[in-house]
Amino acid sequence: MDSVAGIAITSFIVGLSGAMMPGPVLTVTIGETAARLRGEVPGESTRARTRGALAGPLIVLGHGILEVLLVAGVALGLGRLLVLGPVIGTIALVGGAVLLWMAWGMLRSVRSLSLQGTTAAEDRRHPVLAGILTTLCNPYWIIWWATIGLSYIALSLRLGLIGLLSFYVGHILSDLLWYGSVSLTLALGRRLLTDRTYRGLVTACAVLLLGFGLYFGYAGVRYLLA
């Protein structure tokens, strides 16, 4: 994580771990995709599937608007505090603890995870607006940015603006990949993404989170003792 590429890659992995856990954004992504597919009629199947596949990326756009505003706020002033050694150390320790807690929770719940039956009522809101609203209503999102997100921003700012941009790009690409894949899979057929595959992916991400949590804890202690 001492290079632009390292920040982007690890940010992508951690972001993917968070995106894959069931929550409001996943629910509305599946629900909006299904709602668009309900309009499929003979002779227009390709159009309906395209509309369904675009639900995820459009929802991520709304989700990303809020996150880019938050990251921009940090870059325009709040980030000055985050480059201080004691601040980085404290945030890294808290972020590492949350990562370990998340990994433990993922491992405990992996057996019961399922994409089947995760639906939402048909909604006429635009997917971008749906992405904004479901993000704001998700307390887990606030906790993530108050702990893990701030940890990554603090470490990224050591490389300046390019480090911050690499963090955001890696993070938003993880959301786009996951939610876009969910919509595309539902549009093409549920059999492409089984519950077994989903659980395997979550397990792998949980193990990676354990490693990142230990790394943040180590970095936090190092900065506090420097």
Buried b (16+ CB within 10 A) or exposed e, 80-115: eebeeeeebbbbbbbbbbbbbebbeebeeebeebeb
pTM of the predicted structure, to 2 decimals: 0.74
What is the predicted pLDDT for the residue at 79?
63
Mean pLDDT by 10 residues, the chain (226 residues): 86 86 79 67 62 88 90 72 79 85 84 60 67 77 77 85 91 94 81 70 82 88 88
- Tell me the C-alpha to C-alpha distance, in Å, between residue 5 and each of 138, 145, 163: 30, 21, 9
What is the predicted pLDDT for the residue at 38?
59
- Cβ contact 88:214 at 8 Å: no
What is the predicted pLDDT for the residue at 30?
79
Distance CA 71, CA 67 (A): 6
What is the predicted pLDDT for the residue at 193?
59
Q: Can you give the residue ranges of every domain in the chain?
A: 4-225
What is the predicted pLDDT for the residue at 123?
44
What is the predicted pLDDT for the residue at 200?
84
- Cβ contact 164:80 at 8 Å: no
Q: What is the 3-state secondary structure (H, E, C) of the chain?
A: CCCHHHHHHHHHHHHHHHHHCCCHHHHHHHHHHHHHHCCCCCCCHHHHHHHHHCHHHHHHHHHHHHHHHHHHHHHHHHHHHHCCHHHHHHHHHHHHHHHHHHHHHHHHHHHHCCCCCCCCCCCCCCHHHHHHHHHHCCHHHHHHHHHHHHHHHHHHHHHCHHHHHHHHHHHHHHHHHHHHHHHHHHHHCHHHCCHHHHHHHHHHHHHHHHHHHHHHHHHHHHHHHC
- 41: buried, middle or exposed (CB in 10 Å: 19+, 13-18, 0-12)? exposed
